[in-house]
Amino acid sequence: MIWQSLDSILTRIRPRREVLALAIDALVVAACWHITYLFRLGFERWHSARPDYDVWVMLALVALYLGVFVALRVPKGMWRFSGFGEVQRLTLACAIAGLVGAVAVLMAQLSQVPRAVLALHPVVSLMGLAMVRIGYRMLYEHMRGRISGSATETRRALVMGAGDAARLLIAGIQHHGWVVVGLLDDDRRRLGTRVSNVPVLGPLDSAPRWAELHGISHIIVALPSATPAERRRALDLAAATHLPVVTVPSAAELREGTTVTRVREIEAEDLLGREPVQLDEGGISEALGGKVVLITGAGGSIGSELCRQVARYGPLKLVLYELSEFALYRIEQELSEHFPHIPLVRLVGDVRDPEHLRATFTRVRPQVVFHAAAYKHVPLMEEDNAFAALRNNTLGTWRAASAAAEAGAERFVLISTDKAVNPTNVMGASKRAAEMVIAKLAAEVLARGGRTRFMAVRFGNVLGSSGSVIPKFKEQIARGGPVTVTHPDITRFFMTIPEAARLVVQAAAIGEGGQVFVLDMGEPVRIVDLARDLIRMSGHSADEIPITFSGLRPGEKLYEELLADADATLATRFERLRIARLDDRGHDVQALLDWAAERSSAPDDEVRERLARLVSEYRRAGH
């Protein structure tokens, strides 16, 4: 197609745009010198009446004009955006060059150069220079309209991947503000071919060269079926272009109904490069299908994803127990839209209220309970809120679990955290105490022949959850930085919210009681590396958006652990899901529960002291 060929030619010469602009301007100024003579002397005399030195005057004036243009940064203007501002800059440049040139000619006593020519030449030059730029803009917009169906400036994309996903992507975005200039693929059989009339230019690692050559504005990674490691390699190569990087949905997102034609920004989970955990869908369906399921903290980041995951398995009824009215309304609206066939019970309630819990469990008779209600922000809980963390995380777990046992629930699953291992903060110690509560109840229920199975699931930081560093990093990048990291060596285990929720429902399906399930989360991630990756994927460099270190916050440690040193782990039939059998004998968790239940407040230091008595491995950070 002629317009695509023209577009290809223009993009190839774009790196030398300023030099070419000066050359064209020189030709226009010289041509306008002749046109001015023609206008002043007419056809008969416009050439013969000139002095012998006229050609040298013209060349000197052209050099003068180009010097003024460079000084006023005229060549840096982009002709396809030419408007009134560009005409203003040209007017000033022509006026200065014309005035200086006329004065120089007169002072040199070159009297045979007509004064009218000296006066008219800047005006004619301005008209010629402006017409060239406006003509180019008209041609460019017409070309864009013929290629993309829109005359407005579009985003020029280079797509990584030349498979079916790329074909669907091109069909979906070509007429919505995008122009796909070329495709990249490591499959040598595809090189030189065309997908939906877009050429496959080269392998993935040639992205920087093609991006510069074609004036690319965005890189799109279209490899939904690639492994996480392959996607991560493609993202690193895309980031090397220093352009914004977007991606089509992953294979998991496509299975959940997202379409290939929708591109999104790079998320932190794209950067982890980990294989998803394979779960026993049949076993989970058997454990949850046709059951009454109650979720505490149903409106939180983990609780709401649990609601979505549980709803997929067709529960008889879903009971949403949430303290925040707004969070409860939000998840109720979402579930009603996507799972209209599932009856919902929406309850505003507090897990610290034993009477309301007991009445609720007696009335709805849940068979499976997921306990996600918790205070989890480490620095907030460390100072002035230690007792609130203890009452909510530990006492709240005791009361919710006791109500579940009294109501005859089949399973009770506590959402725990890696911060419960060798805790250095109140939040982690309160969650470790909650695990001890689960162990105590499991033993008591087993001793009296009860039916409720109690278990906990322990995992690392969840990407995108409330309090997560990722949303904070994205906000800081959007504001232009700096991005704040507490310490250059701080590391964390990470997992996605859906992955965490699936782990929890799997634990509910296979748990036998008194167990803490742990996910093998691979290697920990350095937070500063994650910040650098997000900056690169946004199309910025470390110089543009710097990273600053603010220091460790109260209760924070450099690294987290998933298992304490003394814990024994057992394998399950799921490769990356293990069981930690914890030795809780001799721990009097009941004394701490009774103490917390008897009062409405307590000093932070006393809370820490009592937690330390129970959780022997608790060592406050910095002490």
Catalytic residues: 419
Which residue is associated with the tokens 């504005």? 217
Query: What is the enclosing helix (H) or strand (E) of 325?
Result: helix 325-338
Distance from C-alpha of 5 to C-alpha of 2, rounded to nearest angstrom: 5
- How many helices and strands, by DSSP H and E, does the chain display? 23, 22
Query: Per DSSP, which regions of 196-314 are E strands?
Result: 198-202, 218-221, 245-247, 264-265, 292-296
Strands 155-160 and 368-371: unpaired
User: What residues contact 248, with CB distance under 8 A and at least 6 apart?
Assistant: 165, 169, 220, 221, 222, 223, 224, 260, 262, 263, 264
Which DSSP letter does residue 38 get? H
608-609-610-615 Cα dihedral, nearest 10 degrees? 80
Helix (H, G, I), strand (E, B) or coil at 13: helix
**Rounded CA separation 308/328 (Å):** 13
Q: Which helix (H) or strand (E) segment is 571 a member of?
A: strand 568-571
30 and 122 Cβ atoms separated by less than 8 Å:
no
Bridge partners (DSSP) listed for residue 458: 416, 518
β-bridge partners, 412: 369, 454
Phi and psi torsions of 262, nearest 5°: -105, 120
Distance of CA 376 to the CA centre of its chain: 22
Contact 462, 496 (CB under 8 A): yes
Q: Which residue has the tokens 């603010």?
A: 550
Dump strand ranges (E) for 286-396.
292-296, 317-322, 344-348, 368-371
Q: Quick one: three-class SS letters along 414-475?
A: EEEEHHHCCCCCHHHHHHHHHHHHHHHHHHHHHHCCCCCEEEEEEECEEECCCCCHHHHHHH
How far is Cα 398 from Cα 410, in angstroms, rounded to an integer?
A: 16
Using alpha carbons, select from 547, 466, 508, 460 the residue that is nearest to residue 274: 460
8 A C-beta contact, residue 233 and residue 239:
no
Examine residue 199 and say whether the peptide bond preceding it is cis (omega within 30 degrees of 0): no
